[in-house]
Amino acid sequence: MPFQALKLFLLQSLQSNNEDEQPLYDFENSFSEVLEQNTTHEEAVVLLCTLAPHVLPHFFDDIIKEVFPEGGELPELGGIRLENHRGFLPTGETIQYILAKNDINFRLKIQLLFEPSHWFFKNNILSIENTKEGEPFMSGRIILKPEIVHLLFYGEKLKPKFSPDFPAQEVKTLMEWEDLVVNETTHSHINQIKLSLKHQDKLREEWGMAKQIAPGYRTLFYGPSGTGKTLTATLIGKEFSREVYRIDLSQVVSKYIGETEKNLEKIFTQAENKNWILLFDEADALFGKRTQTKSSNDKYANQEIAYLLQRLEDYPSLAILATNMRNNIDEAFTRRIQSIIHFPKPEPRERLKLWQSTFSNSVILDESIDLDQISRQYELAGGSIVNVVQYASLMALNRNTNTISSDDLLKGIRKEYLKEGKTV
């Protein structure tokens, strides 16, 4: 067991007075495959030491009692104790002492494991807790990310849950590309995104265009609700095996006024090395045209937008902003994106395709229903057509029949028109 081997390693390390005779244990292979990262002996020791308290709260205390039975102040060991977890938790100083004792050069080498340039930080594996001003950097507690704890224990990736610390939700679809009904221009622009995701790495690395082309792709989807913006994002994720997370900016801004920047940064930090597709819904709630600075609130809002524009520009995967109104988006953002894609309400021919593809194969349409006429007469987006079909299907089920009546269909259309403030 890794923890038993770690215990023997730590006992030997702490009891040995010879800094040149460190015991050798093959810890690194325990992590290389799971983390998909070549792991050195020192890195593996850091991971094991940080992981141990999550399953054995007394792990370090037992070792300390055995090596230092008289107790007392042991500043060389570092460590910290918290309110809920009563056991010893390792800090950077703990790792330095275990691996390097008083070897200054080796201790400095260990410190590099906690720098932003190291893959621990880049891959969002672990970090060292910020210390108070004036306190040594390495006196901070080592924090292993919760999803990494789960991955190392169970071998499966833990998906983040929606919370104040992660104001985003994963979106998926059972639909396929043939279920997306858009005009040829929109379809062509969507294909450009797919081509970029497929060939960008080769373009930057093999063709030597990394200086000219930044990693990632940024695009704006605009058009009325129900026209396929979210479906397109999820279909792209499905095709390229990437998770899609939807951030409803209108909700984030309303709930976290003054902390929007901080909370969105948590999403970027989580997503940075996972190839997620980020879909910012209701984007004009935050990325709308910047106001003239008339108050301190306006100044803060403009700084917040500017920061997030830069953060989006640096994001190495696909970022999509979705809005109903293109004119509400700040021009500073449109200058930083590769494409702007319009999702207009479908034309009669497209509406007919939507009507035909939305009904279940299990239903029968009443002879009085003329889908071609309905498509020409009623201007409905794809999402609204789905709502009408669902309403009419439920009415049929309630009558213990699989026949969709013309009356139920028209009632469903009327309900959708009323939602939009229209009359049939």
Token code pair at residue 259: 């902390």
Token code pair at residue 24: 């050798």
Question: What is the C-alpha to C-alpha distance for residues 127 and 271, in angstroms, rounded to an integer?
Answer: 16
Provide the percentage of residues in the chain whose pLDDT is more than 90.
Answer: 55
- Write down the pLDDT at residue 188: 95
**399 confidence band (pLDDT: 50, 70, 90):** very high
Question: Is this prediction's pTM over 0.75?
Answer: yes
CA-based nearest residue to 201, from 212, 218, 215: 215
CA-based nearest residue to 350, from 340, 360, 339, 358: 358
CA-based nearest residue to 278, from 328, 236, 222, 336: 236
Mean pLDDT along residues 38-56? 93
Question: What is the C-alpha to C-alpha distance for residues 172 and 244, in angstroms, rounded to an integer?
Answer: 7
Question: What is the C-alpha to C-alpha distance for residues 33 and 39, in angstroms, rounded to an integer?
Answer: 9
Question: What is the C-alpha to C-alpha distance for residues 57 and 89, in angstroms, rounded to an integer?
Answer: 9
**25 confidence band (pLDDT: 50, 70, 90):** low
For the chain, what is the mean pLDDT?
Answer: 87
| 252 in Cβ contact with 286 (< 8 Å) | yes
pLDDT tens digit string along 144-183? 988 899 998 888 888 888 877 788 899 999 999 999 999 9
Provide the percentage of residues in the chain whose pLDDT is more than 70.
Answer: 90
Mean pLDDT along residues 315-324? 91
Question: What is the C-alpha to C-alpha distance for residues 242 and 236, in angstroms, rounded to an integer?
Answer: 8
Mean pLDDT along residues 115-126? 90
Q: Radius of gyration (Cα) for the chain, nearest Å?
A: 28
- Write down the pLDDT at residue 295: 45
- Write down the pLDDT at residue 296: 44
Mean pLDDT along residues 97-106? 92
Q: Is 29 exposed, middle or buried (0-12, 13-18, 19+ CB in 10 A)?
A: exposed
pLDDT tens digit string along 250-263? 777 765 556 777 77
Backbone angles phi, psi at 220, to 5 degrees: -120, 125
Q: Higher model confidence: residue 256 or residue 245?
A: 245
